[in-house]
Amino acid sequence: MSLSIGIVGLPNVGKSTIFNSLTRQKVDSANYPFCTINPNVGCVKVPDSRLDQLTVMSKSEKTIYSTMEFIDIAGLVRGAHKGEGLGNQFLTNIRETSAICHILRHFVNPNIVHVENRINAKDDLDIINIELIMADLQQINKKLESRKDTDLSELKPLLQKVKINLENNALIKDQDLTEDELTLLKQFNFLTSKPCLYVFNVAEIDINKTPEQILKEANLNLDPKKVIIVCGKMEEELSQLPENEVKEYLQNLNISQTGLEKMIIAGYKLLNLISMLTTGPKETRAWELINGLKAPQAAGKIHTDFEKGFARVEVINWKTLLDCGSWTNAKEKGLIRIEGKEYLMKDGDTVVFHFSD
């Protein structure tokens, strides 16, 4: 399963509009349910001002950003687990993703119909969560009822515990489970075990509201750190402008980043990714790593031979390097560290790997 985020929500909440703006790919976002039948996949650049600054310092010929994958999945409706709408197809597509991004409608527009004929982000999220819960329950029941499984002795008590919690509307990711139990459950790829990001699609007048304000208005108890405020209509318009005009527009509104940039960065963190950096005259580049990788495995991201023959790595924090003005200056000041095989990579580490033949 690749590292990807599935964009989900009820029909006509702005999923495809946001996806179009996110990737500048055109998918049909007509004003009727189920216009997105096949999942649309977009690979997007992860904004990183650190790269821009290092590119200037090194006079790099090109800059290569980290990327991540978003998948626009067909709109979900009540009863999806029973096959309503495009239910079964939706559930299959989302099961293949690493995380879920819920698009929640928080704007009023009488010209854009809501499949439930009302605007209520809390109810929308409840509908989606119930469908995910029901799908996980079906999977568990099928497993418990199967006579082919001879290795269920260890799993059966755990599955029964998870089942009871699901029947009480507790998502697996919110259940009180040990690390060992979570590891055992990974093989099933349960929908409610996936980490989630919550994107509120708001009217332009609300774009400067805080996540806490929007959550209070929506009567939702979510972690504000996992809530992003986006105006799909405005983002769609911005996506058509040259980059320099976008920056000028945002400055006039006293906004540092677009909602979609915040969404991409939040998604990157949600997938537990960090960036390792390399810089030089040829290129400045970010390499996405799973948080917790050791230096040899990080080297392998650049080239498999680097991992096999890893000897050591020269490391410096990107900001320290930038303050020095060059790699040579940083080395002369003794600020570049030499690390070995047990070194755990950190976000923003700027590196040069050494390996033996």
CATH number of the domain encompassing residue 128: 3.40.50.300
- Whose CA is closest to 16, among 68, 70, 96, 69? 70
Whether 149 has a pLDDT exceeding 80, the answer reads no
More confident residue, 257 or 229: 229
Question: How far is the C-alpha of 89 from the C-alpha of 92, rounded, in Å?
Answer: 5
Question: How far is the C-alpha of 76 from the C-alpha of 2, rounded, in Å?
Answer: 22
How would residue 91 be classed by pLDDT, with cut points 50, 70 and 90? confident
Helix (H), strand (E) counts: the chain: 14, 12
Residues 16 and 151 in one domain: yes
Residues 179 and 116 in one domain: yes
* Number of separate domains in the chain: 2
- Sequence-distant (6+) residues with CB within 8 A of 262 are 228, 229, 230
Q: Which domain holds residue 308?
A: 292-355
Residues 149 and 181 in one domain: yes
pTM of the model: 0.86
Residues 215 and 325 in one domain: no
- Among 88-102, 205-219, 259-273, name the one with the lowest average pLDDT: 88-102
Residue 259, domain member (yes or no): yes
Q: What's the rounded mean pLDDT across residues 327-351?
A: 96
Residues 241 and 300 in one domain: no
How would residue 37 be classed by pLDDT, with cut points 50, 70 and 90? very low
Residues 265 and 296 in one domain: no
| Most confident by average pLDDT, 25-34, 144-153, 202-211, 329-338 | 329-338
Residues 194 and 146 in one domain: yes
Residue 38: CB atoms within 10 A of its CB come to 12
Residues 250 and 331 in one domain: no
Residues 235 and 111 in one domain: yes
Residues 141 and 192 in one domain: yes
pLDDT of residue 243: 79
The share of the chain scoring above pLDDT 90, in percent, equals 57
Encoded amino acid at 308, one letter: K
Residue 265, domain member (yes or no): yes
